[in-house]
Amino acid sequence: MNKLEYPMLAARMDTRFVEDLTGGTEMSVNGSPMSRGVWNMIISKRDLSLWCKHKMKPHRHWKVSDVKTYFGIKGNGPKLLDQFLALTAEVDRLHAVKEVSDD
């Protein structure tokens, strides 16, 4: 992974998210393998958008601090969502590059 091409991921190499993203643990989603990091990113995008845009918690045990710690992001409200969306965009670009190189 190029640190200049993926600066947000490079800055978060010691987070649990990157560990789950690059680790060997995969689950089957609709018959296709998916890493735990990608699954958590998808679910957290839904949950964080709900919290930032509508001030609603997805469920009673959900805490925004858990999302911040897992993904290594800081801030509150719109700034937090912007950082998270930028991180997901980098992961999407990284996976698009991997799919092209695998073919």
Q: What is the pLDDT of residues 4-53, one digit of tens each?
A: 788 888 889 999 999 998 887 889 999 989 999 999 999 999 999 999 99
Q: pLDDT tens digits, residue range 73-92? A: 999 888 999 999 999 999 99
Domain that holds residue 45: 37-103
**Is the per-residue pLDDT at 100 higher than 60?**
no
Q: Is there a domain that residue 66 lies in?
A: yes
d(CA 44, CA 84): 9
Contact 71, 84 (CB under 8 A): yes
Q: Span 52-80, mean pLDDT?
A: 93
Q: Is there a domain that residue 17 lies in?
A: no
> What integer pLDDT is reported at residue 20 of this predicted model?
92
| Total of domains in the chain | 1
Nearest to 72 by CA among 87, 57, 93, 56: 87
> What integer pLDDT is reported at residue 10 of this predicted model?
87
Nearest to 35 by CA among 44, 23, 43: 23
